Amino acid sequence: MKYICLGYIAPEKFENLSETELNAMMDECFSYDDELRQHGHFAGGEALQPPQSAATLRWENGKVAVTDGPYAETKEQIGGILILEARDLNHAIQLMSQHPGVKAGPFEIRPAADLSEMIRESELRRAARPESK
């Protein structure tokens, strides 16, 4: 089963770290990612650029409005996501507890939702209405 792990970080936590400290932390994290990969637990993941780089879209008054910055202005922001392949929640917790990134900020572990049934039903509905695009 896939679990999406949202890794949160408080950017100001890193401002006071020396380059050596920062490098040491990065090395630890990347090497654990490699370990996850070797055992087939790393099903994907990306690091995110800082929240200032974000654009947020929302539906407002019948059209899309674009604003700068992240959706929620909180002290801790999502710094990266990791898609984890694990047997069950205990296995996911066990794997992510050993990830050095947990020392930099909390991980939120969310099971991936299986929408295949919903998509199949939607396809049937759409097939029954050939005029719609």
Partner 1 sequence: MPENAAEPVRKQLDALYRAESRRILATLIRLLGDFDLAEDAMHDAFATALERWPQDGVPASPRAWLVSTGRFKAIDALRRRARFDASKEKIAEQLESGSGAAAEVTDDGIADDRLRLIFTCCHPALAPEARLALTLRQVCGLTTEEIARAFLTSPPTLAQRIVRAKAKIREARIPYQVPSPEELPERLATVLQVIYLVFNEGYSASSGASLTRADLSGEAIRLGRLLVQLLPEPEVTGLLALMLLQESRRAARTSPAGELVLLDGQDRSLWDRGQIAEGIALAERALRSQRFGPYTLQAAIAAVHSEASDTGSTDWAQIVVLYALLARIEPSPVVELNRAVAVAMCHGPAAGLALIDALLARGELADYHLAHSARADLHRRLGNVAAARSAYEKALALARQEPERRFLEKRLQELSEKK
Q: Closest separation between CB of residue 90 and partner 1, Å? A: 5
Which residue from 90, 124, 127, 133 is in contact with partner 1, where contact means CB under 8 A? Answer: 90
Q: Which residues contact 112 (CB under 8 A, 6 or more apart)?
A: 1, 2, 3, 4, 83
Site size toward partner 1, by CB under 8 A: 10
Q: Closest separation between CB of residue 87 and partner 1, Å? A: 7
Q: Which residues contact 69 (CB under 8 A, 6 or more apart)?
A: 51, 52, 54, 55, 56
Which residue from 48, 80, 81, 91 is in contact with partner 1, where contact means CB under 8 A? Answer: 91
Of 106 and 111, which has the nearer Cβ to partner 1? Answer: 111
User: Which residues ranging from 110 to 129 are in contact with partner 1 (CB under 8 A)?
Assistant: 111, 117
Cα–Cα distance measured from residue 34 to residue 24, given in angstroms and rounded to the nearest whole number:
15
8 A C-beta contact, residue 32 and residue 98: yes
Question: Which one of the spans 18-26, 49-57, 62-70, 85-93 is the region binding partner 1 (CB under 8 A)?
Answer: 85-93
Q: Which residues contact 6 (CB under 8 A, 6 or more apart)?
A: 78, 81, 107, 108, 110
Cα–Cα distance measured from residue 28 to residue 58, given in angstroms and rounded to the nearest whole number:
38
Of 94 and 122, which has the nearer Cβ to partner 1? Answer: 94
Asked if 94 interacts with partner 1 (CB under 8 A), we say: yes
Residue type for position 25: M
List interacting residues with partner 1 (CB under 8 A). Answer: 1, 87-91, 93-94, 111, 117
